[in-house]
Structure 1
Amino acid sequence: MTEISREDIEGLSERLDKVEAYLHVDEKRGKVAELEKLSAEPGFWEDAEGASRTMEQLTRAKEDVVAIDSARSELEDVKAALELGEETGDEDLLAEAGSTLERLVSDLGELELSTWFTGEFDHGDAIVTVTPGQGGLEAQDWCDMLFHMYLRYCERRGWKVDVNDAPVADVIGIDRATFTVSGRNAYGMLRAEQGVHRLVRISPTDDKKRRQTTFAGVEVLPVLPDDVTVDIDPQDLRIDVYHATGHGGQGVNTTDSAVRITHIPTGTVVTCQNERSQIQNKAIAMGILRSRLYERELAKREAEIDELRGPKRDIGFGNQIRSYVLYPYKMVKDLRTGIETGNVDAVLKDGDLDPFVIGYHRWRVGGGGE
């Protein structure tokens, strides 16, 4: 049984006050009331697209309000159970208070995580792209392993995933994977995964069973809200359609529905093939292109500022952020934070990434990162 005291409860109450203030919950209560009133108006659903956006805003606003209200309610339950348990000596009540407290500490930790995300798009959705690096066929297999690791992680977190593009390679693995993740703090959380991921193992394609080192890159972009302007001249685009292949199911290969968009001035290429119509694939590809060009412009501005500041003095580990070693020992280690585990299967097969993702953000806000 977890022993608790009134000091524990007071400490949690103070933490909850800070999180509520940071998340501007009072403002969101007003936003919820406003959007609920709007959604109840006659003709609201006549503009299906606009109504859908409004309902999405309502859901997002409700998330924090419901989370805070639930935490407040649980805190009151802990107080009541503790007081009654102390008065009556009822061990069951005290045990209930302890278990509720443990759950509340976990829930509050998740809410506090939101306060670490101060970027413009951190609380929104994300576009993740995994591409093979050095290592030939092995890298394509490694790309597929990472892709499924992230699918499992998103499932654990309750995030929705739409696979936009994941063409199967000719021999092993996949050529790349692009998928959109929708859920609370998806972009903020997944920013921790941006960079190069290194795999060391016995090669499954080498008859001599030699050790192989392989690389894959992970790119994480925000899904841009509609009110963010990205100027794209249609004359700068080359749009190709082709036969869809890969993870889209049996019907995906029946027409030339896959779309490849090339932004000629920058050489940026986006493909999407997992929707059943060319129009849907084109719309999704354009959304991904907007995000990539937006990030490209931000990176260009940051590079210009860095040039004015002069060379950086801190030399880190370069682009490689994490190593996954399957031979001669088993270990996953984040090279930025030093966090590691020997339970490789829990990470790669079960998507147990929270220790690394949350650990990265704790390290970042503590002054260790960007």
Structure 2
Amino acid sequence: MKKTSLIQKLEISKKEFLEISKSIIQPSIISDQKKYKTLLKKYIKLEKIVSLYEEYNNKLAYLKEINIILENDSDIEMKELATTEKYKILENLSYTEREFSNLLFSSNSKEQYTTEDYRKAVIIELRSGTGGDEACFFVEDILRMYTMYFKKSGWKYKIIHAQKGGIKGYKEIILDVNGEKGVYGNLKFESGVHRVQRIPKTESQGRVHTSAITVAVLPKVKDIEVNINLNDIKKDTFRSSGSGGQHVNKTESAVRLTHIPSKITVECQEERSQHKNFEKAISVLRSRIYQNEKEKRLKKISIKRKSLVSTGDRSVKIRTYNYPRNRVTDHRIHKSIYDLAGFMNGNIQEMINILKLAEKK
């Protein structure tokens, strides 16, 4: 299909969407349930198209900015970044145009795997909370639990960033997880505070301590979904503090990116190449900005679920791992599993399935 014809179709869809938006809130429409359901179904379909169309236009505008940088900026590194971004934008504009065709003309556009639950990739962030060294130990334990679950599920993962704890374990670790459709649909339930009750290895008197870590599961988003202006990013480089040999520790290959408008900061130091660290950091930054905007949007239109099953609120205690009683309890659904050893070995799908059922209800 020619681009001009596609744009015409999209403009028609946008106009129709705006008309339905006005009519669907009218009392006469709401009182007529049959008519209301028909319009609502159409509204939901058109909302996806219009939202994607807005992102498409933002990308076109961003492409113009990139071309200006390429023509006028004398900074060689900035030009290299702009060239990389331009290649991605052109590729994604083409991808978006195919998505439009699916949404506009496919006879089976009801489910095009466009919802978040069908995403194949996520960013998982694990951070130690209250509990000092014991919290760092528990980050490592939860990391092992997830990696064993990934192996059982046939998913692949890479460590993007890792910050070691004082004695052992991790203060923070960020993973990039990829697999078949539904990676986010399963892992989204893990976002929140994970609490552990056990006798720490450093405890000499045998007392049970309570520590906590936070887990954040962010859907990994495509470039077309989040518009990041290079001029809004502050880039810092520094020497890696982790393992990796002479090259990593003696060159400034680690990258820190700060998104000035949102003040979101991302670090990456796992690769030997500064360019590769930059690419990974940009990926994490996109996911964090997307999640940040999503949460603001949900609050604004007041449709956030009362249930905490899938809100992804990282400040809410969702699960307790009680070692003395061999029990793991999910507080959102009041479900306990008395096989903590099995759970920590990656057998977490049973709990996830129950959470899925609770969300549907």
Aligning the two structures, in what range does the TM-score lie when normalised by the shorter sequence? 0.5 to 0.7
Q: Matches of 2:246 and 2:348 in 1, distance apart?
A: 32
| Structure 2 counterpart SS, 1:227 | helix
CA separation of 1:121/1:240 partners in 2, compared to 1, >3 Å: closer, same or farther? farther
> 1:356 maps to which residue?
351
Q: How much has 1:314 moved relative to structure 2?
A: 7.0
State the shift of 1:253 in Å. Answer: 3.5
Aligned-partner SS, 2:291: helix
CA distance in 1, matches of 2:354, 2:213: 21
CA contact (8 A) 2:116 2:184 kept: no
Determine the structure 1 residue equivalent to 2:317: 320
Say whether residues 1:223 and 2:220 are aligned partners. yes
TM-score, length basis structure 1: 0.61
The reply to whether residue 141 of structure 1 matches residue 144 of structure 2 is no
- Could you tell me how far apart the structure 1 residues matched to 2:251 and 2:118 are? 37
Q: Residue 161 of structure 2 contacts residue 175 of structure 2 at CA under 8 Å; is this kept in 1?
A: yes
**Mapped partners of 1:364, 1:351: distance in 2:** 22
Task: Provide closer, same or farther for how the CA distance between residues 250 and 124 of structure 1 changes in structure 2, counting only shifts above 3 A.
Answer: farther
Tell me the matched-pair count.
Answer: 250
Residue 168 (structure 1) aligned with residue 164 (structure 2): yes
Superimposed CA distance per residue, residues 212-235 of structure 1 (whole angstroms, 9 cap, x where no aligned partner): 11111111111112332x232333
The alpha carbon displacement at 1:121 in A equals 5.3
In the alignment, the residues of structure 2 paired with residue 178 and residue 315 of structure 1 have an alpha-carbon distance, to the nearest angstrom, of 23
CA deviations over 1:258-297 (Å, ceiling 9, x no partner): 2111223322111112122110011110111011111111
Cα distance per residue 1:145-197 (max 9 Å; x no partner): 11111111111111010110122122221111100110011111110111111
Report the Cα distance in structure 1 between the residues aligned to 2:146 and 2:239, rounded to whole angstroms: 27
Amino acid corresponding to residue 197 of structure 1 in structure 2: H
1:288 and 2:291 equivalent?
Answer: no
The letter for the 1-side match of 2:355 is Y
Q: Contact 1:274 / 1:281 at 8 angstroms: preserved in 2?
A: yes
Separation in structure 2 between the aligned mates of residue 174 and residue 252 of structure 1, nearest angstrom: 19
The 2-side partners of 1:245 and 1:351 are apart by 30
Aligned pair partner of 1:156 in 140, 146, 152: 152
Q: TM-score, normalised by structure 2?
A: 0.63
Matched AA of 1:222: P
Partner of 1:304: 300
Residue pair 1:167, 1:247 contacting (<8 A) in 2 also: no
- Counterpart CA distance in 2 for 1:298 and 1:352 is 30
Q: Secondary structure of the equivalent of 1:167?
A: strand
Deviations 1:17-56 (A, max 9, x none): xxxxxxxxxxxxxxxxxxxxxxxxxxxxxxxx99xx99xx
Alpha carbons 1:168, 1:247 under 8 Å: kept: no
Percent pairwise identity: 32
Q: Do 2:254 and 2:269's aligned partners in 1 also have CA atoms closer than 8 Å?
A: yes
State the 1:207 CA deviation: 2.5
Question: Take 1:315 and 1:285, find their aligned partners in 2: how far apart are those partners?
Answer: 29
- Paired residues of 2:117 and 2:183 also in contact (CA < 8 A): no
**Displacement after TM superposition at 1:313 (Å):** 7.1
Residue 120 and residue 342 in structure 1: after superposition, are their counterparts in 2 closer, same or farther (change >3 A)?
Answer: closer
* Paired AA for residue 361 in structure 1: K
Report the Cα offset of residue 245 of structure 1. 3.6
Q: Structure 1 CA distance, aligned partners of 2:114 and 2:283?
A: 23
Aligned with 2:232 (options 232, 236, 240): 236
Mapped to 1, the partners of 2:249 and 2:172 lie a distance apart of 18
Task: Give the match for residue 26 of structure 2.
Answer: none
- SS of 1:176 mapped into structure 2: strand
CA contact (8 A) 1:166 1:247 kept: no
User: Is 1:273 paired with 2:273?
Assistant: no
The answer as to 2:193 corresponding to 1:196 is yes
| Alignment counterpart, residue 258 of structure 2, candidates 258, 262, 275 | 262
Q: CA RMSD in A?
A: 2.9
Residues 1:141 and 1:220: Cα distance change in structure 2 (over 3 Å): same
Amino acid of the structure 2 residue aligned with 1:193: E
The residue correspondences of 1:45-194 to structure 2 (distance < 5 A) are 119-120=115-116, 122-184=118-180, 185-194=182-191
Q: 1:243 to 1:261 in 2, by over 3 A?
A: same
- Aligned-partner SS, 2:175: strand
* CA distance in 2: counterparts of 1:213 and 1:363, whole angstroms: 28
Q: What is the CA distance between 1:339 and its match in structure 2? A: 2.8
- Structure 1 pair 236–180 and aligned structure 2 pair: CA distance change class (3 A): same
Q: Which runs of 5+ in 2 are unaligned?
A: 1-86, 96-110
Give the whole-Å Cα distance in 2 for the aligned partners of 1:145 and 1:249. Answer: 26
Q: Deviations over 1:99-146 (max 9, x none)?
A: xxxxxxxxxxxxxxxx9x873453321110011111122211111111
Q: Which amino acid aligns with 2:199?
A: I
Partner of 1:206: 203
2:327·2:337 contact (CA, 8 Å) conserved in 1? yes
